[in-house]
Amino acid sequence: MSSQAARNTTFQDSLVNDNVGDVTILEDVNVAAVVGIAANVCGVNVGPVAAAVLGEATAVDASGRDRTICESAATGEPLTITQN
């Protein structure tokens, strides 16, 4: 397998990484846990955004494409979900 093919291979394992700016705050976190993390980091109520955040985290796990969820309420840096 070429190195390019190896980099493009994603493994859906229901785990992702959470980053604020360029700092990884959690590694290998379950996609469902991202909802609570986003609520805390973004300063929003979980209920209205839960399905959307869970969908974004699941999409990252399946595709390997990073997704920005919001800007941190404390720092203004983006909360990004990345494939683990």
Residue appearing with tokens 């796990």:
61
Domains of the chain, by residue range, sit at 14-83
**pLDDT of 49 above 90:** no
Confidence of residue 1 (pLDDT cuts 50, 70, 90): very low
Give tens-digit pLDDT for 56-80.
Answer: 999 999 999 999 999 998 999 999 9
Percent of the chain with pLDDT over 90: 71
Specify the higher pLDDT residue, 11 or 68.
68
Looking at residue 47, what is its pLDDT?
A: 83
**In three state form, how does the secondary structure of the chain look?**
CCHHHHHHCCCCCCEEEEEECCEEEEEEEEHHHHHHHHHHHHCCCHHHHHHHHHHHHHHHHHHCCCEEEEECCCCCCEEEEEEC
